[in-house]
Chains A and B, each alone.
Chain A
Amino acid sequence: MTDDRTFVIVGASQAGGWVANSLRSEGFEGKIILIGEEEHIPYERPPLSKEALLGDVSVESTYFWKKQTLEESKIDLRLGTRVSSIDRTAKKVITENGEEISFNKLAITTGARVRKLSIEGSQLPGVFYLRTIDDTLEIKNQITKGSNALIIGGGWIGLECAATLTKLGCKSIVVEAADRLCGRAVTPEISNWMLDYHSKNGVDIHLNTGIDIFQGKEKLESAVLSNGEKVDCTVAVVGIGVIPNSELAADAGLDVDNGIVVNEQTQTSDPDIYAAGDVANHPNAILSRRIRLESYENAQNQGIAAGKAMLGNSEPYSEIPWFWSDQFDANIQMIGIPENWDTTATRGKPENNEFVTFYLKNGVIDGAISINNPRDLRFGKRLMQEKKQVSVEDLSNMGIKLQALLRS
């Protein structure tokens, strides 16, 4: 029996690629059309602010799959194609060029786009954002050794960029409007560790500081900070967060609230339309609340879950959020989104840049952040999953292996 259904995926992103991959690995034999606005097949974003910016890897090496592999899996790629609307009644997506593509089921994996600054001079060449491969290539072309690189925003992207541009021989200057780094993601003590670590590595960090104006004749030459200070710079990278690309869904009348609202099966308010990745807002049973995650793991695993769900093979999607970042020689990983913890336990020595801080609520791990110790963090994730009762003394005692706590 042949399957004459067509499943369309809008967004050739990490999540979109995994939807397609998962449909095929679950045995779907119908037509899969993967539509992407960029000219690239799905690629990994983590290297864009690190290895790819350093120049250590080629653009092609960031692709999740070889183009040939996707073609062999009979995934019909429509790159450089923007979808402008969804007609839910006729079950069609309409591209910017007016092409109509019918679907039996649809997945929306349109991700997120950078939040832009609109201040004087923000249109000057030399002012960059970092979200796509093309952004990375442009920044790489523009930087010159020994020059100042101004980074707006002391979050993950800003700090990764600061580290990489420092490695490339630039003087990185970070301005952050809040009173600490990565304030939305990490606890104050980790923010302090980051500040200290980056400062020791030569990054110049200004907290409680914004940007007023970019200046330059034909391209960026300097910037005026909110404290009135003028900073010469040849490039600026703005990393002040992202906005979910949920307009397509909203215009089609789907429920949207900080992203496309989906249920635990990644299904939107239209049962034939699914959403996954940065654009989707899902109910997370572990966190007991709705959340929209901007992470590698979520884009991958929710994409896989959506592929299964489209075939009716769904299991509820709910995972402990997991993030990581690499800055200079520090691998930073986080599990959970710790909130309202009552106590913390630190394993290892922050001054040696190798430790894990656990956040506990009623004797159970509610989240953790590790610096250069992914292994203990992983055991912490298992302890958190199993809701094991643990003590600050045991977690902090390097003489006790965390696997032993799992078995106890």
Chain B
Amino acid sequence: MTDEIIEFHAVATTSEVTEDEPKAVSIGRLDVGIYQLDGEFYAIDDICTHAYACMTDGYIEDGQIECPLHGACFDIKTGKALTAPATIDLRPYPVKVDGDQISVGVPKVDD
């Protein structure tokens, strides 16, 4: 297996993502949620691993995002599934901030 090539995509500006209001973006076929926590930006898969719901519509508290549908909580920094009913983690993506531009790194897809 070859290593994945990560490609960064400029998808948001820093003013669009606040601690209270994450931003949902689409990168290719991926739905990604961008969050701000303690001044840093994080990106994790936006679709709950338990059932179809957009995590960015959820509830944020103590560094966790809670699914709006069934209440599963995930760690915003790592995507780790913390509570039932989720048992599978959300995938985290690397984030780069350049000025006010936020870029998210996702695996390059061969067309």
Contact = CB atoms under 8 A, between A and B. Distances in A.
Given A322-B71, A378-B59, A401-B20, A64 B85 contact: yes
Interface in A211-256: none
A304 B59 contact: no
B69 A324 contact: yes
Nearest to A301: B84
B87 interface: yes
Given A65-B87, A300-B84, A401-B20, A374 B57 contact: yes
A378 B87 contact: no
Size category of the binding interface on chain B: 10 to 19
A116 interface: no
18 contacts: A18-B84, A21-B84, A65-B87, A297-B70, A297-B71, A300-B85, A301-B84, A331-B69, A374-B69, A375-B57, A375-B58, A375-B59, A375-B68, A378-B58, A378-B68, A382-B59, A382-B61, A403-B20
B59 A379 contact: yes
Nearest to A69: B87
B66 interface: yes
Interface string B4-45: 000000000000000010000000000000000000000000
A46 to B, nearest CB: 8
Interface in B63-93: 66, 68-71, 84-85, 87
A378 B66 contact: yes
Contacts, number: 31
Contacts of B70: 296-297
B4 to A, nearest CB: 26
Contacts of A374: 57, 68-69
Closest 8 CB pairs of A and B: A374-B68, A378-B59, A300-B84, A403-B20, A375-B57, A300-B85, A375-B68, A304-B84
Interface of B: 20, 51, 57-59, 61, 66, 68-71, 84-85, 87
Interface string A24-67: 00000000000000000000100000000000000000001100
Given A21-B84, A382-B59, 16 more contacts: A18-B84, A296-B70, A300-B84, A300-B85, A304-B84, A322-B71, A324-B69, A331-B69, A374-B57, A374-B68, A375-B57, A375-B68, A378-B58, A378-B59, A378-B66, A401-B20
Nearest to A14: B85
Interface string A273-307: 00000000000000000000000110011001000
A322 B69 CA distance: 11
Contacts of A331: 69
Nearest to A303: B84
Contacts of A65: 87
A293 B68 CA distance: 20
A304 B61 CA distance: 22
B68 to A, nearest CB: 4
Contacts of B69: 324, 331, 374
B18 to A, nearest CB: 10
Nearest to B61: A382
A322 B67 CA distance: 14
Contacts of B51: 44
